[in-house]
Structure 1
Amino acid sequence: MIEQTTKAPWHLWVVGVLTLIFNAGGVIDYTMSQLRNRAYLEMSGADYDVMIGWIESFPVWAHGFWALGTWGAFIGSLLLLFRSRHAVTAFLLSIIGLIGTSIAQFLFVETPEELQSPGMIVFSIVIVVVTVGLYFYSRAMAARGVLR
């Protein structure tokens, strides 16, 4: 049996490339934070020791959700570019990771004042919008037969 797929619309490539770059930023942030890279963490504007204390205050399970959210989104963007239906699952896992990380941040961890700027809050909202948007976009592309 031959599976019929639809030609990829131009916006799939735009969404895929832009979100791959966006999500690569998340992968860099996650990796540099886990490696406790001083130069990178000081770019946040907060003191290095404050950043380390904040990262280490997260429960172990929250680090797992952070990894799931970050890597799920990055892999999802790659899968979207490869036109794989598994992008939907990767983006769903990313949402689960985002929810778990958000629960940790709001209920279990005290965020340093230096990281509560309006810019940081807006960026957090952008992350939620992009993550949820990618899930629904990939579902729509799968339903239209663009993803195989």
Structure 2
Amino acid sequence: MNGHAKTPWHLWAVGAATLLWNGFGAFQWYRQVTRSDSYWGNLTMEQVQFIIAQPMWVEVAFGVGVWTGGLGALMLLLRRRLALNAFVASLIAILVNTLFMQVLSNGRAVFGNGTLIAAIAVIAVAAASIVYAHFARKRGIIR
């Protein structure tokens, strides 16, 4: 695809959707790490204690997952090939965070089975972002 080709509508749709999705995740991460009253006020004492006690690497994985996902969305909108790499990094970080919450801790017991459904949704969106970025790269939509 030459530099003058029109950007396909689906790139704008996927880019905007993934930017909003990851933006929401980044906002949640920000509220968690800044100890926002609006975030913490909606949690039970057991949930607050769980989050405070989790290892730092879990919080870092959460942040890396949402921020690299947002970066991937921005790079997609800017039609940059590195969007794929950012989405892959995001998925890896999401999987690390999910591993802790679902397997290595009692996170599901503390937060409920909804965390498993949410984790599956987040992983599915991250994987779909990778698939789309790979498609766009192969078709020359992103360069």
Q: TM-score, normalised by structure 2?
A: 0.88
Alignment partner of 2:141 out of 137, 140, 146: 146
Residue identity over aligned pairs, in percent, reads 25
Secondary structure of the corresponding residue to residue 8 of structure 1 = coil
1:92 to 88, 91, 95: 88
Q: In structure 2, the residue corresponding to 1:50 is in which secondary structure?
A: helix
1:38-71, Cα deviation, whole Å (9 max, x unpaired): 222333xx32x33321212322222221111111
Residue equivalent to 2:29: 30
In structure 1, the residue matched to 2:98 is 102
Map 1:1-148; keep pairs closer than 5 Å. 4-5=2-3, 7-43=6-42, 46-47=43-44, 49-111=45-107, 113=109, 115-118=111-114, 120-148=115-143
Q: Partners of 2:104 and 2:52 in 1: how far apart?
A: 12
Cα offset, 1:72, TM superposition: 0.9
How far apart, CA to CA, are the structure 2 residues paired with 1:50 and 1:69?
A: 25
Partner amino acid, structure 1, of 2:75:
L
Gaps spanning 5+ residues in structure 1: where? none
Q: What is the one-letter code of the residue matched to 1:129?
A: A
Runs (4+) of structure 1 exceeding 3 A deviation are 3-7
Q: Report Cα offsets for 1:13-55 as digits up to 9, x if no partner.
A: 0111111111110000001011111222333xx32x3332121
Q: Could you state the TM-score of these two structures normalised by the residue count of structure 1?
A: 0.85
Query: Is the Cα contact below 8 Å between 1:69 and 1:93 reproduced in 2?
Result: yes
Distance 1:95 1:143, change over 3 A: same
Q: What is the CA–CA distance in structure 2 between the aligned matches of 1:147 and 1:86, rounded to whole Å? A: 9
Q: Do 1:59 and 1:104's aligned partners in 2 also have CA atoms closer than 8 Å?
A: no
CA contact (8 A) 1:23 1:70 kept: yes
Alpha carbons of structure 1 residues 132 and 99: separation in structure 2 relative to 1, 3 Å: same
Contact 2:98 2:119 in 1 (8 A): no
| Aligned AA (2:36) | N
Matched residues, number = 142
